[in-house]
């Protein structure tokens, strides 16, 4: 892989350079070396023992890592050669998948033999509609007029060796709904598993479950399985942490069990659970759904395929490379009413912002909760009339040329808006007013090179990153820098820069105001397929929507001045 590919690969940490002011220091027989690295997304953590890209020689142990300052320290033993400037670190290797393969084989062998177990997995693979007790197939999962969370809980209790899909758009409360359902199922005497690709997602859901169970006086015991201490839940509550060890750590008294696919694929946990909740199912491969699905009689897929999907590498025949949600929904933006539950109300976005996201991404099914209309940016628009508004979407034209992944003009233009907003005030959905600081503005770009540039031109402490970094986060204001000058300058394919999912995630981080900075030539790019035309149309739609909102705001201002 070349340097650019390594920088854009979230599994790697590329372009390490010796730190100019931190000399190597000895620790027993080893030596600790400090390096700097440019802004990029990566998954390496303290305690990891990565390899050097190219030579695959061990690069020592990561003993400290500061992403904000771009500094990493590696401990090298006496037998290791020096790390050359420009070196990239890669993971030591894939986690062994033998337990996952064995689980998939168990399922396949049973089906080949005409067995009738694992019905939930089979229903997913056949794309059957969910089966509920005393309900006809094809009927709405949640009837018209019924609260989505209440309806989801009722449907889950009635689930009959099947699956259910819960789609939660940005700010719509999928964690709230999942935790409510889990606590209700535990109270009904059910045994529940919780899984996801990431321990962060698992811990976020478990914290909510633990709090709600305590509030309802539910007496229960649970456990969370982790490989390392930094993955542990760490609440000290009724969900105990089990870290490391070769066994599962699951005991008969554990009514709630959480972990990754490697835990639930174990043969000793075969059909040990009444329900398995799989969070962020839009990022979980179909193969992993099968592997861990053997542990439960009912499977609950929670996520949103219209946000960031799982990264795909290698070649996958047929539909095997799809996530569970993409496989089931076959390109549909929202889950059909007879296949799952769509959470229709966002408690994050102002109505003026939600309207675009709903129409452009969610088939006009998403609406803003009434109190979000109170949210607003209380900064005089005259400080930057093209970008600043009380709420909604704005599109700022920035003309430049020959920019691929880095645009100084866009960075400078965005900086003007950023500094105009700092020190102003914003009002939340409870009517409380706050000072706008660096924590209240997210700055997003598709490219790591633009992220690095923006960090240099913006005030210290600015929250700057790629879309991937900020999924799940929010702020009153989001500023988006597209960076690329035109279709001739695209460093990757159209599908990356114009991704509807990435645009959705970027804009929907905002509570009040989202601003896109882009060269208008990006709206004139030639397309070779209908799919590419649809993607480019998404950015054109954003431009048109933003211009109409700005014109309406100016008309209202003109009318008020005339009056």
Separation of alpha carbons 147 and 539, rounded Å: 33
Separation of alpha carbons 107 and 511, rounded Å: 45
Residue the block writes with tokens 């990022």: 283
Residue the block writes with tokens 């996801």: 196
Residues 168 and 286 in one domain: yes
Contacts of 250 (CB under 8 A, 6+ apart): 223, 225, 257, 263, 268, 269, 272
Query: What's the pLDDT tens digit per position in 12-22?
Result: 899 999 999 99
Question: Which pLDDT band, with edges at 50, 70 and 90, does 177 fall under?
Answer: very high
3-state secondary structure of 257: strand
Q: Give the burial string for 363-389 (b: 16+ CB within 10 Å, else e).
A: eebbbbbeebeebbbebebeebebbbb
Strand boundaries in 331-411, DSSP class E: 340-342, 345-346, 367-368, 376-378, 392-397
Could you tell me if residue 537 is inside a domain? Answer: yes
Question: Does the structure show a pLDDT above 90 at 138?
Answer: no
Separation of alpha carbons 479 and 516, rounded Å: 6
DSSP-derived pairing of the beta strands 510-518 and 475-481: parallel
Residues 205 and 324 in one domain: yes
Residues 364 and 334 in one domain: no
Question: Does the structure show a pLDDT above 60 at 136?
Answer: yes
Residues 176 and 212 in one domain: yes
CATH of the domain at 49: 2.40.30
Residues 534 and 496 in one domain: yes
Could you tell me if residue 111 is inside a domain? Answer: no
Residues 455 and 542 in one domain: yes
3-state secondary structure of 425: strand
How many domains does the chain contain in total? Answer: 3
Could you tell me if residue 313 is inside a domain? Answer: no
For the chain, give the percent of residues with pLDDT over 70: 98
Residues 357 and 332 in one domain: no
The pLDDT of residue 310: 62
Residues 193 and 294 in one domain: yes
Residues 294 and 405 in one domain: no
Separation of alpha carbons 198 and 235, rounded Å: 18
How much is the average pLDDT of 404-409?
95
The sign of the CA dihedral 271, 277, 280, 281 is positive
The pLDDT of residue 445: 96
Question: Does the structure show a pLDDT above 80 at 559?
Answer: no
Could you tell me if residue 425 is inside a domain? Answer: yes
Nearest to 442 by CA among 514, 496, 499: 514
Separation of alpha carbons 221 and 239, rounded Å: 6
CATH of the domain at 379: 3.40.50.300
Residues 213 and 161 in one domain: yes
The pLDDT of residue 137: 82
How much is the average pLDDT of 198-225?
95
Could you tell me if residue 101 is inside a domain? Answer: no
Question: Which pLDDT band, with edges at 50, 70 and 90, does 122 fall under?
Answer: very high
State how far the alpha carbon of 137 is from the alpha carbons of 148, 168, 331, 483, 506, in Å. Answer: 19, 23, 22, 49, 37
> What are the phi and psi torsion angles at 489 (to 5°)?
-105, 5
Question: Does the structure show a pLDDT above 60 at 63?
Answer: yes
Query: What's the pLDDT tens digit per position in 296-337?
Result: 999 999 999 999 876 555 556 777 778 999 999 999 999 999
Query: What's the pLDDT tens digit per position in 331-389?
Result: 999 999 999 999 999 999 999 999 999 999 999 999 999 999 999 999 999 999 999 99
- What domain range is 387 assigned to? 351-562
Residues 411 and 526 in one domain: yes
Query: What's the pLDDT tens digit per position in 73-86?
Result: 999 998 889 999 99
DSSP 521: G
What is the arrangement of strands in the sheet containing 376-378, beginning at the earlier edge strand? 376-378, 425-427, 433-435
Could you tell me if residue 369 is inside a domain? Answer: yes
Separation of alpha carbons 134 and 124, rounded Å: 20
Could you tell me if residue 190 is inside a domain? Answer: yes
Is the whole model's pTM more than 0.75, yes or no? yes
Question: Which pLDDT band, with edges at 50, 70 and 90, does 8 fall under?
Answer: confident
State how far the alpha carbon of 218 is from the alpha carbons of 157, 158, 283, in Å. Answer: 17, 21, 31
Question: Which pLDDT band, with edges at 50, 70 and 90, does 40 fall under?
Answer: confident
How much is the average pLDDT of 277-298?
96
The pLDDT of residue 315: 59
Query: What's the pLDDT tens digit per position in 454-499?
Result: 999 999 999 999 988 888 899 999 999 999 999 999 987 898 899 9
The pLDDT of residue 1: 66
Residues 418 and 535 in one domain: yes
What is the arrangement of strands in the sheet containing 256-259, beginning at the earlier edge strand? 239-243, 222-226, 256-259, 192-195, 273-278, 296-303, 163-167, 340-342
HSE of 82, CA atoms in CB hemisphere, 13 A: 8
Could you tell me if residue 95 is inside a domain? Answer: no
For the chain, give the percent of residues with pLDDT over 90: 82
Strand boundaries in 260-398, DSSP class E: 273-278, 296-303, 340-342, 345-346, 367-368, 376-378, 392-397
């Amino acid at each position: 892989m070349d340097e650019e590919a390594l920088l854009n690969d979230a599994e790697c940490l590329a372009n390490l350079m010796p730190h100019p002011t931190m000399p190597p220091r000895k620790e027993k027989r080893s030596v600790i070396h400090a390096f700097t690295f440019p802004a990029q997304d990566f998954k390496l953590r303290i305690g990891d023992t990565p390899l050097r890209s190219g030579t695959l020689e061990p690069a020592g142990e990561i003993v400290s890592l500061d992403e904000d300052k771009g500094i990493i320290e590696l401990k090298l033993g006496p037998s290791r050669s020096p790390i050359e400037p420009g070196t990239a670190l890669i993971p030591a290797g894939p986690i062994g998948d033998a337990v996952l393969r064995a689980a998939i084989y168990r399922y396949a062998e049973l089906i080949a033999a005409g067995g009738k177990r694992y019905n939930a997995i089979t229903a997913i693979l056949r794309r059957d509609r969910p089966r509920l007790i005393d309900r006809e197939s094809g009927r709405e999962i949640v009837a018209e007029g019924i609260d989505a969370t209440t309806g989801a809980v009722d449907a889950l209790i009635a689930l009959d060796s099947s699956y259910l899909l819960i789609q939660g758009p940005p700010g719509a409360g999928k964690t709230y709904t999942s935790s409510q359902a889990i606590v209700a199922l535990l109270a009904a005497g059910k045994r529940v598993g919780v899984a996801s690709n990431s321990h962060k997602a698992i811990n976020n859901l478990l914290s909510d479950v633990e709090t709600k169970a305590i509030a309802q006086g539910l007496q229960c015991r649970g456990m969370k399985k982790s490989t390392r201490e930094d993955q542990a839940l760490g609440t000290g509550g009724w969900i105990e942490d089990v870290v490391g060890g070769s066994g599962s750590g699951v005991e008969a008294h554990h009514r709630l069990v959480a972990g990754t696919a490697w835990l639930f694929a174990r043969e000793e946990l075969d059909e040990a659970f009444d329900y398995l909740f799989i969070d962020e199912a839009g990022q979980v491969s179909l193969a992993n759904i099968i592997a861990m699905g053997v542990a439960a009689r009912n499977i609950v897929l929670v996520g949103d395929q219209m946000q960031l999907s799982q990264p795909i590498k290698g070649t996958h025949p047929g539909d095997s490379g799809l996530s569970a949600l993409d496989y089931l929904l076959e390109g549909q933006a929202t889950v059909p009413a007879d296949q799952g539950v769509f959470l229709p109300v966002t408690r994050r976005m102002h109505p003026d912002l939600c309207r675009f996201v709903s129409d452009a991404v969610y088939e006009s099914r998403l609406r803003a909760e009434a109190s979000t209309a109170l949210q607003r940016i209380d900064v005089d628009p005259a400080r930057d009339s093209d970008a600043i508004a009380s709420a909604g979407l704005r599109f700022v034209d920035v003309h430049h040329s020959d920019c691929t992944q880095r645009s100084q003009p866009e960075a400078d233009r965005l900086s003007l808006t950023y500094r105009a907003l700092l020190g102003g005030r914003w009002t939340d959905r409870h009517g409380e007013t706050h000072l706008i600081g660096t924590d209240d503005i997210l700055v997003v770009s598709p490219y790591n090179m633009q992220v690095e540039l923006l960090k240099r031109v913006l005030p210290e402490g600015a929250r700057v990153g790629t879309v991937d970094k900020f999924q799940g986060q929010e702020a009153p204001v989001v500023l988006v820098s597209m960076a690329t000058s035109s279709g001739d300058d695209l460093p990757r394919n159209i599908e990356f820069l114009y991704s509807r999912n990435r645009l959705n995630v970027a804009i929907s981080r905002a509570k009040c105001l989202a601003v896109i900075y882009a060269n208008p030539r990006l709206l004139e790019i030639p397309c070779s397929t209908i799919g590419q035309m649809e993607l480019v149309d998404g950015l054109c739609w954003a431009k048109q929507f933003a211009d109409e909102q700005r014109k309406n705001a100016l008309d209202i201002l003109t009318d008020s001045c005339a009056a």
